[in-house]
Amino acid sequence: MRKFFYVLLFWAALCAESYSQDSTFFYSAGINAAGSTAGVPLWLYANRNASMPEKGSFVQGAASFHRVYNRNNPRFFQWSGGAELVGFAGKKSDAFFTDLFIAGKAGPVELSIGQRKEFMGLGDSLLTMGPIAMSPNYRPYPKIQLSTPNFVSLIPGNDIFSFKFSYGDGLLGSAGVHYGNVTSVPDVYLHQKSLYLKLGKRTHRLNLFAGFNHQAMWGGEDKIFTGGLKKAEAYEYVIFGKPWSHSRVGNHFGTIDVAAEWKGKRWDIFLYRQTIYEDGSLSNLSTVSDGLSGLRFKRRQKSENAPAFRFNTLLFEFLYTKNQGGAIFDYLNGIFGKDNYFNHYVYNQGWSYRGRSLGTPMIAPQTTTRDNLITTKNLFTANNLIVAYHLGAEASWKKFNFLLKGSFSQNSGTYDDPIRPVANQTSLLLRIEAPLLSSKRDVFGLSLASDFGQLYTQNMAIMISWRKSGFIW
C-alpha cells in the first residue's frame, strides 16, 4: 500500500504542470487520513462508492484520469473514458478501480463498457441521504449500457418535451444462496433500465419531470430450482417482469419518480419524490406510501470569496419504508406483504454488492449495526422499517466552503424480527474545505463526523484531506 500512495503523489505532481480550460482530459488525486473509533461514522463512508472503509482509523488515497466530452466543440461522434484507482490501509486494506470504462457517443446516444460511478433517480446528488434504488454507496461493477446521458428533445429544435433513457446489464460475480438445490451460483447479473420525461424548456421557470427505474438481480435459476429456466429464457422473464412458478425471476427493485423545478431570480427550488416498488407491488400500488421525498433550495449565483457567511444549498429529505405491502404474507389468499426491502429469499447478499447497499445506505448491512441487532446471518439487513429525517447544507465564507449532513432515524427492524423499543439514531458530518494556493487546484479539508443512538455503536472520527484536480493538455 505504501507504493500505492507514492504513485498518487507522483501522478499529482506530474499533472500539475500544465492546464488548459479547453482540454477534455481531466485528472484528480487526493489523500485522506482519518482517526476513528472502532466504527467509522455513517456519513464519512456512505455514498462514496465504497472508497472509504467502515471500521477503524485509516489512510486512503485515490487518483483518476478521464477524457470527457467536449461541449464547446461538439461533434456527432465523440468518445470518452476514464480510470480511478482507490486504495485504503488500516484495520482493513484494499485497492481497486471505481472507474474503468470507455464510452462512445453518436449524437445524444452513448454506449458505455466497463464500470463507472453513477446513481439512479430524480433528486439531489450532493447532500442527499441517497437515492433509494441505486445510490453512489456501492462499489461500481462491470456493465454494458446504452443510454442518453442528457435529456433529448422529442421535437427537433424545440426542447419543450424531452426524454432520457438507459438500458444496461452488469456482472456481479458469484453469490451465496440460502434456498433451492445449491448453496452458491457462479454468476449473478444485474439488469437495469430507466426512462424519464421532462416538460418545459431550459429557458422556462418551471420544469416538470416523471419517470421510473427498474433493476433486477438474477442468475443461476437453472441450478437453484428444479426445472429452472435456462439463462436466455430467464433473461426474457427478467426484462418484462414476467411471473414464473408463482413468483418473479430474480430480485426486482425500483422507484417511480416525479419532480418539479422552479427557477427563481435568486434560488432554484427542486421538489422530488421517489416511490418504491418491488416485485409485484407495482400492479396493486401496495407500497405507494414508501419512498423518499426531498425539497432543495439552491442559490443561482454562488459568490466566491464572499465576505459574509451565506448558504448556497439547503436540502430537506424524508424517508419512509414501513409499509412494505403490509404485515401479512398469505400466499393462498394472494396477500403479498412483508416485502422485506434489501433482503431476498434466494440470494444471501440481498440488494447489495460486495457488502455495500446498492440503494440507500439508510438500510444498513448487519455488519455495521450493533451486535445485539443481528438476526439471520444469511440476510443482508436486520433493519428496513425506517422513518428518517435528513438535513443537508452547503455554505461559504470568504475562501472556505462548508458542508453539513445530519440525519435522525427511527428504526423498527423487520416484520419478522422487530426492534423493540424502536432504535433512534443520529448521524452527523461537518466538512470544511479551502484552497491552499491561488490556483485553487489544491484543496485542503477537515471533516468531523459522529454517530450516536441505538442502531450503530457510538462512533466518532476526524479526517484531514488534500485534493488536487484540473484539466491537462
Q: What is the pLDDT along the chain (473 residues), one digit of tens a residue?
A: 444 434 444 433 443 333 344 568 999 999 999 999 999 999 999 999 999 999 999 999 999 999 999 888 778 999 999 999 999 999 999 999 999 999 999 999 999 999 999 999 999 999 999 999 999 999 999 999 999 999 999 998 899 999 999 999 999 999 999 999 999 999 999 999 999 999 999 999 999 999 999 999 999 999 999 999 999 999 999 999 888 888 889 999 999 999 999 999 999 999 999 999 986 666 566 678 999 999 999 999 876 666 789 999 999 999 999 999 877 766 556 566 789 999 999 999 999 999 999 999 999 999 999 999 999 888 999 999 999 999 999 999 989 999 999 999 999 999 999 999 999 999 999 999 999 877 778 999 999 999 999 999 999 999 999 999 998 86
d(CA 49, CA 84): 11
- Residue 445 gets the label, from left (phi > 0), alpha (psi -120 to 50) or beta, of beta
The pLDDT tens digits for 244-279 are 888 889 999 999 999 999 999 999 999 999 999 986
Give the Å distances, CA to CA, from 102 to 71, 131, 144. Answer: 18, 25, 10
The C-alpha cell that represents 394 in the structure block: 452547503
Q: What is the pLDDT of residue 333?
A: 60
d(CA 246, CA 269): 44
Residue 425 near residue 419 (C-beta atoms within 8 A): no
Q: What is the pLDDT of residue 4?
A: 41
Question: How far, rounded to the nearest angstrom, does the alpha carbon of residue 236 sit from its chain's CA centroid?
Answer: 27
**Cα 63-303-404 angle, rounded to 5 deg:** 60
Q: What is the pLDDT of residue 205?
A: 96
d(CA 427, CA 40): 11
d(CA 118, CA 190): 14
Q: What is the pLDDT of residue 471?
A: 87
Q: What is the pLDDT of residue 7?
A: 42
Q: What is the pLDDT of residue 332?
A: 57
| Burial of 281 (C-beta count, 10 Å sphere; 0-12/13-18/19+) | buried
Residue 42 near residue 461 (C-beta atoms within 8 A): no
- Residue 284 gets the label, from left (phi > 0), alpha (psi -120 to 50) or beta, of alpha
Residues 6+ apart with CB under 8 A from 326: 286, 335, 337, 338
d(CA 114, CA 421): 45
Residue 46 near residue 130 (C-beta atoms within 8 A): yes
Of the candidates 64, 61, 152, 75, which has an alpha carbon nearest to the alpha carbon of residue 106? 75
Instruction: Please report, as a single letter, which amino acid is at residue 185.
Output: V
Residue 21 near residue 471 (C-beta atoms within 8 A): yes
Q: What is the pLDDT of residue 243?
A: 87
Of the candidates 224, 275, 227, which has an alpha carbon nearest to the alpha carbon of residue 251? 224
Q: What is the pLDDT of residue 148?
A: 97
d(CA 79, CA 373): 48
Q: What is the pLDDT of residue 304?
A: 64
Q: What is the pLDDT of residue 11?
A: 39
Three-state SS string over the chain comes to: CHHHHHHHHHHHHHHCCCCCCCCCEEEEEEEEEEEECCECCHHHHCCCCCCCCCECCEEEEEEEEEECCCCCCCCCEEEEEEEEEEEEEECCCEEEEEEEEEEEEECCEEEEEEECCCCECCCCCCCCCCCCCECCCCCCCCEEEEECCCCEEEECCEEEEEEEEEEEEEEEEEEEECCCCCCEEEEEEEEEEEEEEEECCCCCCEEEEEEEEEEEEECCHHHHCCCCCCHHHHHHHHHHCCEECCEECCEEEEEEEEEEEEECCCEEEEEEEEEEECCCHHHHCCCCCCEEEEEEEEECCCCCCEEEEEEEEEEEEEEECCCCCCCCEECCCCEECCCCCCCCCCECCCCEECCEECCCCCCCCHHHCCHHHCCCCCCCCCCCCEEEEEEEEEEEEECEEEEEEEEEEEEEECCCCEEEEEEEEEEEEEEEEEECCCCCCEEEEEEEEEEEECCCCCEEEEEEEEEEEEEEC
Q: What is the pLDDT of residue 305?
A: 65
Q: What is the pTM of this model?
A: 0.91
